[in-house]
Amino acid sequence: MKILVCISHVPDTTSKINFTDGDTKFDTNGVQFVINPNDEFGLTRAMWFKEKQGASVTIVNVGGPETEPTLRKALAIGADEAIRINATPTDGFFVAKELAKVVSEGNYDLVIAGRESIDYNGGMVPGMLATFTDANFVNMCIGLEIEGTSATAIREIDGGKETISTNLPLVVGCQKGIVEEKDLRIPNMRGIMMARKKQLTVLEPSTSESHTKIASFEKPAAKGAVKLVDKDNLDELISLLHNEAKVI
């Protein structure tokens, strides 16, 4: 089984976020970048298929040379090879189109992507990728088993879970639950050394078509002042909730 895992290069959630050029560009100065957490869950599941079923695992990313340390980390975790599409990921449509070309040419059986990246939170790429490659699709995936060309997936739905049977080729948009946090892998020294020797192929983009552009960024409003009320002063609490917060 050939597996392709889509890897997004995203800011660490603890990073301080700023914008430049009149709030139209993200300021990357001093920002630590990591594997998108949803993608990391998917990569870990792909490693399970590699170890238990002998699958081959390729990782792919749309991005410039600055994303290669993130790809090398994924290789150190255990992926066999990496592909970098040398382009700025301008929007979900563009990214999905570029990934679709790799999927079609590589004849992958299973494509694992995070349900969304934690930077722009668009959540568009997995579904569009399945459409462009004419593959079956399961989003919000929290469980996945493969037997031959058949797949059983569990996805999160409002108020519960749904179990789906389908066939390969398959694209999944995964999240925490497909593996648990305790199962995530930290690259060891042997993995880091081996990653340096693994193939990282750079491809030029096939199209420059983009359907959206960023008009501006805006930070969330600063948190307002907090009033502390003594736990025994219920009258004051009720008065504040009624007259100031106006929630009762």
Provide the residue ranges of all domains of the chain, joining segments of one domain with +: 2-221
Architecture of domain 2-221: 3-Layer(aba) Sandwich (3.40)
210/75: higher pLDDT: 75
Query: Using CA atoms, how far apart are residues 240 and 229, in angstroms rounded to an integer?
Result: 9
Helices (H) and strands (E) in the chain, counts: 6, 13
Percent of the chain with pLDDT over 70: 100
Percent of the chain with pLDDT over 90: 66
Q: Work out the number of other CB atoms within 10 angstroms of the CB of residue 231.
A: 7
- The reported pLDDT for the residue numbered 114 is 94
Q: How confident is the model at residue 25 (pLDDT cuts 50, 70, 90)?
A: confident
Where is average pLDDT lowest: 10-24, 168-182, 207-221? Answer: 207-221
- The reported pLDDT for the residue numbered 28 is 87
149/214: higher pLDDT: 149
Answer whether 81's CB lies under 8 Å from 198's CB.
yes
**Collapsing DSSP states into helix, strand and coil, what is residue 114?**
strand
Picking from 150, 149, 138, the residue whose alpha carbon sits closest to that of residue 178 is 138
Burial class (CB in 10 A: 0-12, 13-18, 19+), 83: buried
